[in-house]
Amino acid sequence: EVQLVESGGGLVKPGGSLRLSCSASGFTFSNVWMSWVRQAPGKGLEWVGRIKSKTDGGTTDFVAPVRGRFAISRDDAKSTLSLQLNSLKTEDTAVYYCATDRWGAFDNWGQGTLVTVSS
């Protein structure tokens, strides 16, 4: 059974940093592209960014509002995905989900972790 478990969310002040983790199990993590999707309170879904498998180059891509502030990395040995959030803004407040990214679809999702940016 595929499991994705996010952690690391919390309350942070504007301008601060946070590192989210996503622990994966039940599939061969190294073979799969992974994405982060966020959802602001009461709002819709927004794709944040993606990291390809190392076989496919391991490159990352981000939505414009977070480009240059967020970074995605993966540790295939530990089946762990990370999202580094820097220079946080109040508008980054959201539940952050990690998801497997196959055939352009997010076929498995974690339960999400809440990031609150507030002074």
* Of residues 118, 96, 90, the one with CA closest to residue 109: 96
In this structure, what DSSP letter does residue 16 have?
Answer: -
Q: How far is the CB of 80 from another protein (least distance, A)?
A: 19
Could you say which residues in the range 43-72 bind another protein, by CB under 8 A?
44-47, 50, 61-64
Q: How far is the CB of 97 from another protein (least distance, A)?
A: 6
Q: CA-CA distance, 88 to 34, in Å (whole number)?
A: 22
Q: CA-CA distance, 66 to 88, in Å (whole number)?
A: 9
Q: CA-CA distance, 82 to 74, in Å (whole number)?
A: 6
Q: How far is the CB of 94 from another protein (least distance, A)?
A: 13
Residue 8 sits in the site that holds another protein (CB under 8 A): no
Q: CA-CA distance, 6 to 108, in Å (whole number)?
A: 13
* Of residues 71, 64, 115, 65, the one with CA closest to residue 93: 115
Among 93, 109, 114, 116, binds another protein (CB under 8 A): 109
Residue 103 sits in the site that holds another protein (CB under 8 A): yes
Binding footprint of another protein, residue count (CB under 8 A):
22
Residue 112 sits in the site that holds another protein (CB under 8 A): yes
Q: Residues interacting with another protein, by CB under 8 A? A: 35, 37, 44-47, 50, 61-64, 97, 103-112
